[in-house]
Amino acid sequence: MRCQKAATRTVNNPDGANYTHFCENSVVDYRARALTYYRFMLHRTATLSLLAVLGGCSTMGGPWEDQYGAPLRERTVEEPMLVNHYVIDSPEQTVVGIPQVVLARHADTLSDLARAYGLGYDELAVANPGVDPWLPGDQTPVLLPTQFVLPDVPREGMVLNIASRRLFYFPQMPEGQAQVVKTYPIGIGRVGWETPLGVTTVVAKAVNPHWYVPASVRREHREMGNPLPSVIPPGPDNPLGSRVLKLEMPGYLIHGTNQPYGVGMRVSHGCVRLYPENIEYLYELVNIGEPVRIINEPFLIGELNGEILFEAHQPLEDDAISIDERLEQLFARFGEVSGINLSAAEQDQIRTITSIASGVPVRVRSYDTAEVFARARLVRNIVETDPNSPTLSEVREMMAEVMLEDDQS
């Protein structure tokens, strides 16, 4: 969401600052967004099939119970990890969390599962190719990508990786206590409205901001037969949600949303949006003056228990740096920090994983399509039904139209 300053209005805020939020919001083209995702998944499924043929590995289309370690029916169902919160035991630790698997229920969607387990829609859908996002099916295993390679940047304040669509918050801890990281899915700026990169700070905070609707947005809604007022007060119709963190970067905010199903997608006009429950929690932790580092790192590499883990995300459509250039920089930096020089075979394996871009950290030296599920925990389904979510028939009709358009293009 690209935010713009306008006329001045005084707002009473907890930090004592007086300023006004003016944020531009427009109708999200979910049909175009879905079409882009559909095309990417077709390419990715074909890549997985080819790798399985060449390497003799199982693909993700078969009965998962027979492919991934101990059959799921023989595993103990555990409680899920504490959502969004991880302890960093030492400064050298580069990976947090563990992958989890949950059995979907009949009425669950990937959007429901993503929000329940602290994930964004895109990262969950990409980690589960071949699973119907709107009707996974009763007892279908769904991989929860709840393991993360930490970005290779200073661990202070907020770090936003727009490539992975995740925010990492490193709060300052009392002396003698272990460092922790809190991580949340974010919605970022779509093509043409990119979320800017760089280092900035939080300069102000606000509860229940007003939204002053720009003329371009009012005109767009009027042409669609859905006119908007010039000012939208706090409440369920306000796209900023109930909390706002204002950045020193002119015109950009970190805020909540009244459209939580867009979190984890590239759908805004530049600002960063979080689930309502996440921004409300984060708002109480973040102080004025805390640093904010916005990066674009689709490829991350780390170590865990002697294993090299590589996490690959699909680069943004408008990424100006080539994949080969990014990987060469990553290999050099990893050797510098860890003292490990990757072999030619390991580098080739990483390039193969890059082409799949599942967003899940995988073991480089022992990678196949089964190893993540073999070490994933089976956890209890904690999804609660959302009475305000779109009906299944409405969503499936939209997706059918998108796929028809793609077939005809």
Order of strands across the sheet that contains 141-144:
141-144, 100-103, 377-379
Q: What is the 3-state secondary structure (H, E, C) of 305-357?
A: CCEEEEEECCCCCCCCCCHHHHHHHHHHHHHHHHCCCCCHHHHHHHHHHHHHC
Catalytic residue among 21, 210, 255, 313: 255
Nearest Cα to Cα of residue 370 among 63, 44, 40: 63
Whether 271 is catalytic: yes
Catalytic residue among 3, 21, 210, 271: 271
Taking phi over 0 as left and psi of -120 to 50 as alpha, with beta for the rest, 231 belongs to beta
Whether 255 is catalytic: yes
CA distance 177 to 160: 24
CA distance 260 to 120: 10
What secondary structure does DSSP assign to 228-272, as a single string?
A: --SEE-SSTT-TTTTEEEEESSTT-EEE--S-GGGTTSEEESSSE
Cα→Cα distances 61→53, 117, 130, 356, Å:
13, 23, 6, 15
CA distance 154 to 161: 13
β-sheet bridge partners, residue 181: 86
CA distance 98 to 374: 12
Question: In what helix (H) or strand (E) does residue 46 lie, and over which residues does it extend?
Answer: helix 30-55
Contacts of 341 (CB under 8 A, 6+ apart): 335
CA distance 348 to 375: 24
Give the count of beta carbons closer than 10 Å to the beta carbon of residue 355: 14
Nearest Cα to Cα of residue 36 among 337, 288, 316, 262: 316
Q: Are 250 and 21 in contact (CB under 8 A)?
A: no
Which residue numbers are catalytic? 255, 271
